[in-house]
Structure 1
Amino acid sequence: MPSRSEPARHAPSPPAASHSVGPLTPHLYMPDAVRPLRAKEHFLSGDTQVELHAHPWPQLTFSTRGVIRLSTADGTWIVPPSRALWVPADVPHSINLIEDAELRTVYLHRWLGPEWTRCEVLEISPLLRALLLALDTTPDGRPPADAQAAQRERWIAPLLVNELERATQIRIDVPLPQDKRLRMLCEAMLRNPADRATLAERAATIGASERTVARLFRNHMGMSWQQWRQQAVLAHALPLLARGMAVSQVAAASGYTTDSAFCAMFKQATGKSPTAFQPRRQRAAPRQ
């Protein structure tokens, strides 16, 4: 829904990821019947993009530190440390590091795990987190750090899958259009959510009129530009709040010139104030 805030127009777009890397050697962590779960970890800087790739097994992606953005042809998902993202087998995906992050990925054998056909954002329970972090992360070609890694993976697998199926699913995805012109417009917005350029100004960058772009959004996305932009802003703001960033800072990073306008939009969209999504200790701080 359209915001009542004053637009801070023509905010400069941040540069694209300055460091692009390949798919982080998934072939060295291939799950099989002997080792149905394979885990890997990488420490990556905030200017890194993991290039588009796919593999014939599903994965669970999360970070123990830092926020990541995973994108497919159908949408993009913002994943803070409190959540994990399920990616089905054979789905091409890329990853952008929003900030320095410890990226963890767990591959599952194709016959293992939920039969979800689309990406799903999941809350990580304490048990699920413990199970994920208990997996050995040594690649093939080197002896596992834990001599009993394969046996432990087979023991952990059924409980981990059960926790996945019980996990709360959270819809904070941002759909992306197939139309190339709309895709360019949407990607520009995702790269810089604080840019409050008007739809007419954005349409001009792809050589179209405001009316044409508005019609394309309705036809291709089933929603208006304002609705899509709000969804993108929420997906950007939620991880920042979960990390404990002050509401005023989140509002500014989301392109709002006043906290009140941001809070009004946020509450209307989610039914809760932004502070409800901050860590409990921080929410209690003002009363101390």
Structure 2
Amino acid sequence: MQNNEIVHHRVKITPITYFPGQTTEMHCHRRGQLVYAVSGIMDVSAHNKLWRIPPQRAVWIPPQTAHSMMAHGTVELRTLYTDPETVSERFCISPIMISVSPLLRELVLRGIDGDSQIDRIKEQVSALALTELELLLQESQGSLDYTLPLPSGNDKRLAQICSAILRDPGHPYGLEEWAQKVFTSRRTLARRFQAEFGMSFLNWRQQVRLVAALSRLDQGDPVTVIANDLGYETPASFSLMFRKLTGRSPSSYASVAHSHHH
């Protein structure tokens, strides 16, 4: 991991390179934090939920919120920290994913590449970045929140299964095969999923596949490839699941996402 920090009034922007599979343990910051990968995909976990962040999106982590991260491939991360006073006055107090606007992206990158700038311009860039972030957080409040519930870790068998599915959302095992794998009964495993997540095994796995699909659609991957990788027999069956959970088709979601980011 490599990092350098650029500090402005009320804002600190930190560029960090994470290498494939690199993780950070659960930790928290005094400041509010926007986790934004300009390239690569990052998993962020907080409050027993997981966000999979493609380059077009970012996750807001409020002050003193415990979280961990994991890189999929090489990740060029840009983290924007804001002081707690600014957060309490202007920003939401729960973790949330936002869609990164072209303006915020340029402001974050300008803040990093700012050694030759005079202080007055740095201040203006920082102030505008905060304003744009505030607007994006407000917009995100009403949007669908595609987070994934994570196991508490109290049941090691459940944790083992969930980890395997998170690594490979297209894993073909059903409840019967997983029960055999962890030496328990299908009925016991079904009860554990319902007790842990408030949903069935199939519904939880469907959520994992949806989060994976959203991330890949954001990056422009073809629907046919995504459907196959996620274990669907046909693109039509994948599209049916996607429409049921999001209210729109994969191609419609992708076109809207790309129009927001260009």
Q: Quick one: structure 1 residues 154 and 245, their matched pair in 2 at CA, closer, same or farther if it must change by over 3 Å?
A: closer
- Does 2:76 match 1:105? no
In the alignment, which of 143, 146, 149 is matched to residue 117 of structure 2?
Answer: 146
In the alignment, which of 12, 37, 43 is matched to residue 11 of structure 2?
Answer: 37
- Aligned partner of 1:64: which letter? V
Distance 2:182 2:46 in 1: 22
Equivalent pair of 2:41/2:71 in contact (CA under 8 Å): yes
Q: CA deviation at 1:187?
A: 1.8
Name the residue aligned to 2:131.
159
- Does 2:47 match 1:76? no
Q: Quick one: structure 1 residues 281 and 147, their matched pair in 2 at CA, closer, same or farther if it must change by over 3 Å?
A: closer
- Aligned partner of 2:233: which letter? T
Name the residue aligned to 2:237.
261
The Cα RMSD (Å) is 2.9
**How many aligned residue pairs are there?**
252
2:85 is paired with a residue whose SS is coil
- Aligned partner of 2:201: which letter? W
Distance 1:282 1:133 in 2: 20
In the alignment, which of 174, 183, 198 is matched to residue 222 of structure 1?
Answer: 198
- Does 2:217 match 1:245? no
Name the residue aligned to 2:186.
210
Q: CA deviation at 1:254?
A: 1.0
- Aligned partner of 1:217: which letter? F
Q: Quick one: structure 1 residues 122 and 170, their matched pair in 2 at CA, closer, same or farther if it must change by over 3 Å?
A: farther
Q: Quick one: structure 1 residues 35 and 174, their matched pair in 2 at CA, closer, same or farther if it must change by over 3 Å?
A: same
- Aligned partner of 1:251: which letter? A
Equivalent pair of 1:55/1:90 in contact (CA under 8 Å): yes
- Render the CA deviation track for 1:110-145: whole Å, top value 9, x for unaligned: 11134533320111223333333332378xxxxx55
Q: Quick one: structure 1 residues 155 and 244, their matched pair in 2 at CA, closer, same or farther if it must change by over 3 Å?
A: closer
Equivalent pair of 1:79/1:239 in contact (CA under 8 Å): yes
Q: CA deviation at 1:171?
A: 0.9
Identity %: 29
**Normalising by the residue count of structure 2, what TM-score does the alignment of the two structures yield?**
0.83
**Normalising by the residue count of structure 1, what TM-score does the alignment of the two structures yield?**
0.76
Which runs of 5 or more structure 1 residues have no equivalent in the other structure?
1-20, 139-143, 284-288
Q: CA deviation at 1:158?
A: 4.8
Equivalent pair of 1:174/1:232 in contact (CA under 8 Å): yes
Distance 1:41 1:158 in 2: 17
Q: CA deviation at 1:175?
A: 0.7
Name the residue aligned to 1:200.
176
1:40 is paired with a residue whose SS is strand
| Larger mean Cα displacement after TM superposition, 187-196 or 48-57 | 48-57
Structure number with higher relative contact order (C-alpha < 8 Å, ≥ 6 residues apart): 1
Equivalent pair of 1:185/1:203 in contact (CA under 8 Å): no
| Larger mean Cα displacement after TM superposition, 100-109 or 163-172 | 163-172
- Aligned partner of 1:244: which letter? G
1:135 is paired with a residue whose SS is helix
Equivalent pair of 1:59/1:108 in contact (CA under 8 Å): yes
Distance 2:97 2:258 in 1: 24
- Does 2:60 match 1:86? yes
- Aligned partner of 1:180: which letter? D
